[in-house]
Structure 1
Amino acid sequence: MSISEARDARVDDDGGDQRAPDPRSTEVAHRPSWVRNPTWWRRIALVVWAVAVVAMFVHNGVSMDRTGLLVFLCSGLAAASIGRRRIITVVVDWLPFAAVLVLYDQTRNVAQWMGMPTQWWLAVAADRHLFGGVEPTLWLQQHLKEATPPWWEIITSVVYVSFFVVPYAVAAVLWLRDRVAWRRFAVCFVLTSFLGLVGYTFVPAAPPWAAARCAPAEVVDHPRNPSCIDGLPDPDGGLLGTATPEHMGAAPEVERISARGWDVLHIPAASDMLQVGQSKANLVAAVPSLHAALTGLLALFMWPRVRALGRTLFVGYALIMAFTLVYTAEHYVFDILLGWGLAGFVVIVVELTRRRWTAHRTRLRERAHG
């Protein structure tokens, strides 16, 4: 019996009748336990959210719209917060983070306004220097690419598109478990993104698939958007050259094949959505690779926060992303190394700043109590 029911049921000192119980208390007491348990409501809300996400994916394919992704993510966090913390904390924490990232999206085309000369040969020369005259993307497609996508290109396509989801999913888990660590990760994420923006604003560079479509004479003046970039691969291999493919029917030129795996899964909507998104993106924002930078950031940031299995997964994710980017002609190895270097720089700067700030606060506290 609850306290309110006991109070209502007590007998008068003179032996009078008991008070009638409060109908509302009686109604609550007779509700099933799961109705009063927020865990059940949280589970129901999460199931509804997950079904909605899967339905949107199947119907609309893979979307690279950051705003839509953040809305879906925050709605999932709101569901996961039922019975754990106030739902308003989702808005308080994530709205500034989302606003900064939306600002980043709005300023990505500042590179076009700057009009800096596009680097077509820089990364090609760097890769050939690193690999003894061999261009890695051309070599990989020569030895691995087939006329139609093999089953394992499902992995490369999923890994490539996971970049638009995984960093945010990790951020969401961090937010649920440790909001202090989440804030630090959010700072690293934003810094990496904006420093990457600075990189490809002042050093716009063409990726391998674009270099394979343009003959050297077509890019001698460092154009940003030559007509060849929208065409088919150059019969002579463009800046990368041609090779003899090991698999019959495979094209000897380098092709952009990051979306081919979705055809194996018979999800054409996913492939179409990805290709549309790629066509609207900055086509000469290869230096540094943000795919490599943010997956490298995940590995570095999560290393001290997870055990051996987690470390293996995060480092493995960064490595398989690197392979995917090079094989599918999205980035050069040069771009990836710069991306990893950027991630390392950001993590070191944020950690040193945190330590200095902590030491400064400690000194102030000691003076106040001294």
Structure 2
Amino acid sequence: MGAPAIEAPAGQRPRWLLRSSVWSAYLLALAVVTVMFGLPTDRIYQAVWIIVGIAAFNPDRPWRDHMRTLIDWVPLIAALVVYDHTRGIANTLGMPVRVEELVTAESWLFGGTIPTVWLQDHLIHEGVQPWWTLLTGIVYTSHFVLPWLIAAIFYVQARERWSKYMRRIVLLSYLGLLTYVLLPAAPPWYAAREGVLGAEVYRGTGFGFHLVSVDVSGDWLAAQGNPVAALPSLHSAFALLVTVALWPLARNWWWKIPLALFPLAMAFTLVYGGEHYVVDVLAGWGYVGLTILLARAWERRRKPAGPPAEQESDALPAP
């Protein structure tokens, strides 16, 4: 990304210069902070960068518009902060942790084979990960950045599109949280540690995630992770939700190919990295479908009465 490409008449040149200068300064500051301290993944810290970035993109807007940005974003960020902290204690609320059940389901689904164990046996040799492990690290870490980057872009483009997208983000997060509280389930690395799998499983957080000076995924999991929040996989769910949100905006096939591959790449990364079973991934995708159905039902009820409108797609349509 660079400074906004704005062709302005001579009379508007000072405005163009202001916008370009402020936006470029913001991108430079973000790049420097990322290199020195790592990607902004803490929820509040990340929200500050997003809100400042939205303001920097159009710095000459009236102050009431900037205040509207705060009013729009702060309640949603607060809801997600509550989710983060509640997710971290969901395994302490007394429900029994499901360990053997997921191993049994995975084994039944794959004829006695556990995909995580099979992949690591065939792809990791003498504890040395292959060179492309860096790519799986990038895919995994995108979970902490990409959904929120898309939210910021949607907000700048069209507030209604952003509103629909964030409604699905929050709903999906809390559906996952409810499941973590009622049905805590252990991932493959946890089952291996407890001796249920009968094989060693390397955790994905050690696989090539040192993209900058901070181990982004490891730090995030240490601060807010829940070791028994395997079912559903919200990593896989968010990856699919990103694809669903962007799909109607991809006008050419060369954009649709990476969009279609992204959820599959995330699924491979999670299973290969020992963070989730395939059944967790499938459950995450199912939760995306449920989220879309619930969100659309709520939106239809909230829609004011009037002439019949053209039916919306399940994805988020362009304005």
> What TM bracket, shorter-length normalisation?
0.7 to 0.9
1:141 equivalent in structure 2: 120
Structure 2 CA distance for aligned equivalents of residues 181 and 291 of structure 1:
22
Displacement after TM superposition at 1:305 (Å): 3.5
Equivalent residues in 2 for 1:263-282 (5 A)? 267=212, 269-271=213-215, 273-280=216-223, 281-282=225-226
Q: Is 1:158 aligned with 2:105?
A: no
Q: Contact 2:234 / 2:284 at 8 angstroms: preserved in 1? A: yes
Q: Relative to 1, partners in 2 of residues 1:189 and 1:109: Cα closer, same or farther, differing over 3 Å?
A: same
Distance in 2 of aligned mates of 1:274 and 1:357? 38
Letter in 1 for 2:31: V
1:205 aligns with 2:185: yes
* 1:19-168 paired onto structure 2 within 5 Å: 36-83=13-60, 86-146=65-125, 147-168=127-148
State the TM-score, normalizing by the size of structure 2. 0.85
CA deviations 1:317-339 (Å, max 9, x no partner) are: 11111110011111111111111
Calculate the TM-score normalised by the size of structure 1.
0.74
Q: CA deviation at 1:67?
A: 1.1
1:182 maps to 2:125: no
Q: Give secondary structure in 1 for the equivalent of 2:206.
A: coil
Q: Secondary structure at 2:230's aligned position in 1?
A: coil
8 Å contact from structure 1 (residues 153, 261) kept in 2: yes
User: Is 1:206–1:283's contact at 8 Å kept on the other side of the alignment?
Assistant: yes
CA 1:84/1:131 → structure 2, altered by over 3 Å: closer, same or farther?
Answer: farther
The answer to whether the 8 Å contact 1:38/1:82 transfers is no
Which region of structure 1 is more displaced relative to structure 2, 164-173 or 49-58? 49-58
Aligned to 2:204, which of 245, 257, 270?
257
8 Å CA contact retained: 1:63, 1:274: no
Aligned residue identity for 1:80: F
Aligned to 1:319: 264
- Superposition deviation, residue 182 in structure 1: 0.6
Give me the whole-angstrom Cα distance separating, in 1, the residues matched to 2:201 and 2:238: 25
Aligned to 1:301: 245
Residue correspondences, number: 295
**Pair member with larger Rg:** 1
Give identity over the alignment, percent: 37
Does residue 330 in structure 1 map to residue 307 in structure 2? no
Deviation at 1:123, TM superposition (A): 1.7
Segments of 5+ residues of structure 2 without an aligned counterpart are 1-9, 308-319
Alignment RMSD (CA, Å)? 2.4
Are the counterparts in 1 of residues 239 and 262 from structure 2 also a CA contact under 8 Å? yes
One-letter amino acid of the structure 2 residue matched with residue 305 of structure 1: L
Look up the match of 2:198.
241
